[in-house]
Amino acid sequence: MDKKSTPSLQTKKETSKAFQNTILSWFEKNGRDLPWRKTRNPYHIWVSEVMLQQTQVDRVVDYYQRFLQRYPALNDLANSTWDEMLEYWRGLGFYRRGRNMLKTAQAIVAEHAGHFPQDVETLETLPGIGPYTSRAIAVFAYEQDKLVLDTNTSRIFSRYFGIEGENLLKTLAEEAHWLVPKGKAWAFHQSLMDFGSSICGAKTPLCSECPLQKKCVFAQQAPTQKENTLPKKKLKKEVSSDRVEVAVGIIHKQGKILITKRQSGKHLAGLWEFPGGKREGKEDWRTCLKREIFEELGIEVAVRPHDWLVDYDYGDQLVHLRFHRCSILKGEATGKENQKLKWVSPQDLLQHNFPAANEQIIHELATARYVDPTV
């Protein structure tokens, strides 16, 4: 569908009631039995929402139950430390999420007398809580009639109503609020999440089994056209461009590790990173890293065989990283492009914001007993 001719959702109101009723009826028979659906405790809802970010539901269930056994109330978490909390978070990845949870719990106790805020504006002032999480708490804990947009709900709306384009999420956020049935926001959104993960999947939608198919724009199109009518934002993530291969250096000196700050105008600007760069063709990985570090910092390094391999999809780019421990053979590190440099202890790495692909490595370096490499 040409985005110039994409209809407004406002023209689709006549079909919204049937859409709502069908989704809710389907959920009554097919909804998943999940532990966080048995509570309206905002703290418990918040824990589940943070854990569910970029983590599969089946994996989260055990973590959620174990975490709440140790921290059954907000005050319990607020009185904890990151080192202790880590024992109940380890394995979920994305450790910044966990650290932000601890900060948020402490902020709610200190600034809100231990009571979870109910309005989305206040919720979004807390560490790690953005528009999605704030609305999820408002709907799933307080049953407010808010619109919660995630990949599942956006995909279903886009397909059923024939809405697409580069600004899909913006369009839905502005126009789709009336799709939420009054007094039924909780059930409606739970329905959409389960429906999107089982029937209206991203890659293989089960249109022949879908109770919405008769009025669904996507289902009524020829099979050969369907691939091109998925929301563009989602397609972009599923068909990332050819992967970029990056050699990364963990440069050690006197018990500290060298990090650099990405400059403005670059991808992921303002975040800290380890030195390194793209591999050229079939260039040897260690040769690549030596070259990149010399060009970037003006130093010669000895490079050990890689310690970690990481594949990460940023949505618009798939990155393959090889992390090597290094030691300086000659020279003093200086930013050849005037980038900021810093030597930090492994533990202090946790206090700096790194690209998401580095999360696991940061955690392992920060929590392992420090040993300078022998090259």
> Which residues are designated catalytic?
49
**What distance lies between CA 141 and its chain's CA centroid?**
22
Segment 54-61 long-range contacts (CB within 8 Å, at least 24 positions apart): 54/93, 54/94, 55/92, 55/93, 55/94, 57/32, 57/197, 59/92, 60/92, 61/34, 61/35
Alpha helices for 199-336 (secondary structure H)? 217-220, 223-226, 232-238, 285-297
For 55, list phi and psi in degrees, rounded to 5.
-135, 140
Phi and psi at residue 320, in whole multiples of 5°? -110, 120
Tell which residue, 7, 207, 45, has the closest CA to residue 141: 45
276 contacts 289 by C-beta, under 8 angstroms: yes
Q: How far apart are CA 233 and CA 17, in angstroms?
A: 27
Question: 183's torsion region: left (phi>0), alpha (psi -120 to 50) or beta?
Answer: left
